[in-house]
Amino acid sequence: QSQELSHVRIDYHAALLALQEQGTRMVCTGKMHTDRICRFDYLCYCTEAEEFIFFHSNASVMLPNLGPRRFQPALLDLSSVEDHNTQYFNFLELPAAALKYMPKPVFVPDVTLILNRFNADNLMHIFHDDLLPIFYTMQQYTDLDDEARLVFMEGWGEGSHFDLYRLLSSKQPLLKEHLRNFGKLMCFTKSYVGLTKMTTWYQYGFVQPQGPKANILVSGNEIRQFASFIMDRLNITTEERPEGDDYIVLFSRTSNRLILNEAELILALAQEYKMRTVTVSLEEQTFASIVQLISAASMLVSMHGAQLITSMFLPRGAAVIELFPYAVNPEQYTPYKTLASLPGMDLQYISWRNTIEENSVAYPDRPWDQGGIAHLEKEEQERILASKEVPRHLCCRNPEWLFRIYQDTIVDIPAFLEVLREGVKVKPNLKKSKPASVVHPGRVRQPKCQTSVQAAHEAKLSVSWQIPWNLKYLKVREVKYEVWIQEQGENTYMPYILPQQNYTFSENIKPFTTYLVWVRCIFNKNLLGPFADVLICKT
Ligand code: UDP
């Protein structure tokens, strides 16, 4: 295993002098530890103490300079999971003069991205928590290019899909355990610490039950661009397939959470959709060959589980069918539903749950982490066995959840097909469907109002405006305008949707009154533009 740091020789003496004289310099983005990424010159790491070190000199910079708030609770999150207390980053401080008494530093010449992987043995976590955030953090800082060095500080071994991390840069990623091989003191010439959280869409339930993140900032476009990058690096090409060669992929798990009548399910799918149905599993195919298959499939069918993250490789218009074991409510566990439903992801999503207890095989005697409940009090075991649905719970060791989610299932074929017939609206061969337009309207221009008083109780308010500037360059199916009229001092307003660029309001318009009027443009029913500056109209 090659762990040499670079083929480029660096001038050791010059680097040492720079460290001694300049010390460490840090400039960060973000107001809070949860949205912070820091860039360092000469951040060091002591492998004996397992601590990062900031060397102070007259030329040091530390921005933000938080004082002791740096420990409340930390400088930043080292993984993409928000505010997790096992994932905090901080450093120790020393005067640069202390270098005289310390082991000779080894310099890392590569531009380095330092982070924690969250769970490198689970494919969903690998993609959602690590690969996507690493990819887009690297897009944010241009010197984190294909030659960048990734350093994983969570302290685990390679994990089950280390090859996927290798796709992100041409240099071998380093694990915490590798760092000792370089010596007692390592100094990263240029490094970034932390990950963007903008691409994550799911929170795992550490403080409230799991669910979609409150403020999702990623769209299908970014997910698909990342997916193409990964396919590119895996040497997967999507060749045109002949018309009518549509197929369904059944992603099966082979060690637990099984579908017990897979053969029957495959037959039913093939008959219903007149398509061939292929089975894949992580145990039997390479990851690349699975992605290759999924990337041209019309439908992906699978039990709930991390393997469903591969739905990001489906073509637009394809359908994701997620199966849930008995007593598990699909609405409470939606990482894959949320992914499929991101704007611009253009996937159909349908869940099916087993509602027939006899079609379920549970494993109460397995170890707790595979859903065993034998270690629980008798009463608690009985309560779980009698329960028809897992109540809402926090991550990660809820025994009732684990017991239910690790059941095997006989899929009731008629019930399953019924759900598909209701859910998959069109026969899923819209694979060539075009990405929907995502261009938003600009502000309407030159908004104006005119008023007139007709009688003691009658007045008119005419509002007109020009089309948004970008509209003349666009082909938009439907252009509408929304007008809000609010009587000054009131806290409610009347909304109107109009197809034209002017309108005279007379209903509910009073003489000698001041109205505030807002106007905005809407494309294709749901692409909202900004409001123009408020009009103040006196009747
Ligand atoms: N896994 C698998 N086959 C199996 C069971 C699990 O390939 O029969 C993979 C799964 O895709 C995930 C990892 O093993 O990447 C951990 O699975 P676990 O059941 O712990 O997590 P989950 O799938 O529920 O997220």
Q: What is the pLDDT of residues 195-249, one digit of tens each?
A: 999 999 999 999 999 999 999 999 999 999 999 999 999 999 887 778 888 999 9
* Nearest atom of ligand 1 to the alpha carbon of 123: 15
- CB distance 194 to 38 below 8 Å: yes
pLDDT given at position 8: 57
Between the CA of 480 and the centroid of ligand 1 the distance, in Å, is 48
* pLDDT mean across residues, the chain: 95
pLDDT exceeds cutoff 90 at 313? yes
Query: 381-414 burial, b for 16+ CB within 10 Å, e for fewer?
Result: beebeeeeebeeeeeeebbbbbbbbbbbbbbbbe
Cβ–ligand 1 distance for 254 under 6 Å, the answer: yes
Q: To test ligand 1's pocket by mutation, which of 253, 304, 334, 339 has the most ligand atoms within 8 angstroms of CB?
A: 253
Which tens digit of pLDDT belongs to each residue from 114-148?
999 999 999 999 999 999 999 999 999 999 999 99
Q: Helices (H), strands (E): how many in the chain? A: 12, 28
* 191 ligand 1 Cβ < 6 A: no
147 in Cβ contact with 111 (< 8 Å): yes
Which is the closest atom of ligand 1 to the Cα of 255?
A: 8
What sign does the CA torsion over 134, 138, 139, 141 have?
positive
Q: What is the pLDDT of residue 1?
A: 42
User: Does ligand 1 come within 6 angstroms of the Cβ of 306?
Assistant: yes
Pick the closest to residue 218 from 304, 116, 132, 139 (CA basis): 132
Please indicate whether residue 122, judged by its CB atom, sits closer than 6 Å to ligand 1.
Answer: yes
Nearest residue (by CA) to ligand 1, atom 10, is 306
310 lines ligand 1 (CB under 6 A): no
Which pLDDT band, with edges at 50, 70 and 90, does 5 fall under? low
| pLDDT score, position 428 | 46
- Ligand 1 mean position, distance from CA 257 (Å): 9
CA distances 388 to 21, 328, 356, 373, 434, Å, are 67, 8, 10, 16, 42
d(CA 432, CA 361): 40
Identify the pLDDT of residue 2.
45
Per-residue confidence at 488, pLDDT binned at 50, 70, 90? very high
Neighbours of 369 (CB within 10 A): 11
485 touches ligand 1 (CB under 6 Å): no
Q: Do residues 40 and 6 touch, judged by C-beta distance below 8 A?
A: no
Q: Hey, what amino acid is at 254?
A: T
Lowest mean pLDDT among 336-340, 399-403, 432-436: 432-436
In tens, the pLDDT along 316-367 reads 999 999 999 999 999 999 999 999 999 999 999 999 999 999 999 999 999 9
CA Rg, the chain, in Å? 29
Atom of ligand 1 nearest to the CA of 305: 23
Question: CA triplet 61, 64, 68: central angle to 5 degrees?
Answer: 105
Report the relative pairing of strands 408-409 and 88-89 from DSSP bridges.
unpaired
- Give the HSE-up count for residue 341: Cα atoms under 13 Å, Cβ half-sphere: 13
Burial class (CB in 10 A: 0-12, 13-18, 19+), 442: middle
What pLDDT is attached to residue 57? 97
pLDDT attached to residue 241? 77
**Ligand 1, atom 3: nearest CA belongs to which residue?**
253
Which residues, in sequence order, are CB contacts of 108 under 8 Å at separation 6+?
A: 5, 6, 149, 182, 186, 187, 188, 189, 191
Give the number of the atom of ligand 1 that is nearest the alpha carbon of residue 405: 24
pLDDT band at 426 (very low <50, low <70, confident <90, very high): low
Q: Is the CB of 284 under 6 A from ligand 1?
A: no
Q: How confident is the model at residue 3 (pLDDT cuts 50, 70, 90)?
A: low
Q: 164-210, pLDDT tens digit by residue?
A: 999 999 999 999 999 999 999 999 999 999 999 999 999 999 999 99
Q: Say yes or no to pLDDT of 255 above 60.
A: yes
Q: What are 495-506's pLDDT values in tens digits?
A: 999 999 999 999
| Element containing residue 464 per DSSP (H, E) | strand 458-466
Ligand 1 and 253: CB distance under 6 A: yes
Asked if residue 430 has pLDDT above 80, the reply is no
Query: What is the per-residue pLDDT across 513-529, written as a single tens digit (0 to 9) for each?
Result: 999 999 999 999 999 99
Q: Could you count the other beta carbons within 10 Å of the beta carbon of residue 224?
A: 20
pLDDT of residue 433 exceeding 70, the answer is: no
Question: What was the pLDDT predicted at 485?
Answer: 98
pTM: 0.94
**The pLDDT of residue 4:** 58
Cβ of 124 below 6 Å from ligand 1: yes
What is the mean predicted confidence (pLDDT) over 374-394?
98
Q: Is 305 in the pocket of ligand 1 (CB under 6 A)?
A: yes
Alpha carbon 506 to its chain centroid, in Å, reads 48
Provide the pLDDT for residue 243. Answer: 82
d(CA 516, CA 489): 10
Structure tokens at 365: 């005697």
Per-residue model confidence (pLDDT) at position 10: 73
